[in-house]
Structure 1
Amino acid sequence: MARTMWDSTVGKKTVMAVSGLIMLAYLVVHLYGNLKIFFGPREIDDYAVWLRYVGAPFMHHEWVLWLTRIVLVAAVVAHAVTAYQLSRRDIKARPSKYVHKRPRSSYATRTMRWGGVILGLFVVWHILDLTTGTVHSGGFQDLHPYENVVDTFSTWYGNVIYIVAMLALGLHIRHGVWSAAQTLGVSSRAWDRALKISANVFALLLTAGFISIPVGVMTGLVS
């Protein structure tokens, strides 16, 4: 039964929708934590330390953090694999070009594929920059995200990489939320307009929230 569901297009779309919602929930929490940077070094640095001990003493040091990472990695892999498989199925189903041009789709729809690639590359860079410090521009300090973030966004390339990725994220979310609602049967003719508006507003707020951080560093609000 599970194998049949996985092999079906509906099953793959469901996996893609659920994994996308898991990542979306993580992004909301991640943004909440990141915005603490506007309250000063102590606020966000203490938050970074707390993440290592959340769940204690019931859970061991960093266990909740690592469980979250494992779930997130599983969601990313499932999302990427199903996206690739569905894309290949779509291409095989339409091997020749259309004689007549199809109606023009939204910009977000037409850029979902390359947007996903950009986000994938960004995640790798982001981890190497602010989690492991491997490609960090300054003197990386573990459990001191305030100083590390200021270092990164004090460089022109750090700002460009981050802002471009967040714009791609916004377009991805805008289309993804709407697609997930359709796949999971939440959308209907009566709710379509409200869902589209909600997806647009949500994507805009999330994008603006993430971009506010490099802008805050560039303007001196965070320094």
Structure 2
Amino acid sequence: MVTSSTMKRTPATRSTVALKYLMAVSGLIMIGYLLLHMYGNLKVFAGQEAFDEYAEHLRTFGEPILPYEGLLWIVRVVLLAAIIAHIYAVVVLWRRNRAAAGVVGARRYHSKQNRTGIQRSYASFTMRWGGIVVLTFIVYHILHLTANVIAPGGASDSPYERVVNGFEIWWVVAAYTVAMLAVGFHLWHGIWSALTTLGGNRSANRIDSRLTGIAVVVTLVIVLGFLLPPWAILLGLEG
């Protein structure tokens, strides 16, 4: 019997298990950021003075130990690192799954369930395209409300006025809603998968898992929390 001594080994840090842990941890970091960001957005209901004061406090937090905007830059660096790590893990695992599934060109192996050779699932469809929608929205969101480069409804030095001016326009609210629904689908599956990867699942199937309820509750809190300000502003109910 002939054996090969040149078998290619994958480093432990690039193993499938390690990449799944990386994807889970980076995803949970982003979820934590979303919860904090949602809390800040809800301050719009307190009025312009309170909202602008909150926005400025984020920039001066920790002074003089931290420089101006020091906290924000720490958060930005950690968040960017989490996003890059998440995307890296997703791409590598996706390519390994395709290779393991026997993908040739754009087609997979044939099966009795799908004779065309294209295997689709809820996770593979919504997570992939939902992730692209979310990433595109993040870029727009930064250019609009952080960098003040894009100014639908009119530019302003006031964070409150930038929010209100933008969300008084119906198509801005519509695009924001679509993006948040994409975030919701991503979170619904992602939270359950992340907690399962980290050993939190003790059920034989997803329906009976208590993690399903946790994923639904957290997803609804985040999505509804983000959608309340734009719809309240559009309908003239914010104050």
TM over 0.5: yes
Q: Which residue, 66, 70, 76 being the options, matches 2:83?
A: 76
The 5 A counterparts of 1:121-140 are: 121-140=136-155
Structure-2 residue corresponding to 1:111: 126
Query: Which sections of structure 2, spanning at least 5 residues, go unmatched?
Result: 1-9
Structure-2 residue corresponding to 1:23: 30
Which amino acid in 1 is paired with 2:153? G
* TM-score normalised to structure 2 length: 0.86
What is the aligned-residue RMSD (CA, Å)?
1.9
The 5 A counterparts of 1:190-209 are: 193-209=209-225
- 2-structure distance, mates of 1:138, 1:215: 15
Q: Contact between 2:187 and 2:215, CA under 8 Å: does it hold in 1?
A: yes
- Identity fraction in percent: 44
Structure-1 residue corresponding to 2:17: 10
- 1-structure distance, mates of 2:124, 2:92: 17
- 1-structure distance, mates of 2:49, 2:237: 16
Which amino acid in 2 is paired with 1:118? V
Aligned with 2:238: secondary structure? coil
Name segments (4+ residues, structure 1) moved above 4 Å: 102-105
Q: Contact between 1:51 and 1:62, CA under 8 Å: does it hold in 2?
A: yes
The 5 A counterparts of 1:37-116 are: 37-94=44-101, 95=103, 96-101=108-113, 105=121, 107=122, 110-116=125-131
Q: Which has the larger radius of gyration?
A: 2
Q: Contact between 1:150 and 1:222, CA under 8 Å: does it hold in 2?
A: no
Bigger helix fraction: 1
The count of corresponding residues between Structure 1 and Structure 2 is 219
- 2-structure distance, mates of 1:154, 1:81: 37
- 1-structure distance, mates of 2:40, 2:20: 30
Post-superposition Cα deviations, 1:40-85, rounded to whole Å, max 9, x if no partner, equal 1111110000000111222121111101100000001111111111
Structure-1 residue corresponding to 2:192: 178
Structure-2 residue corresponding to 1:151: 165
* TM-score normalised to structure 1 length: 0.92
Structure-1 residue corresponding to 2:238: 222
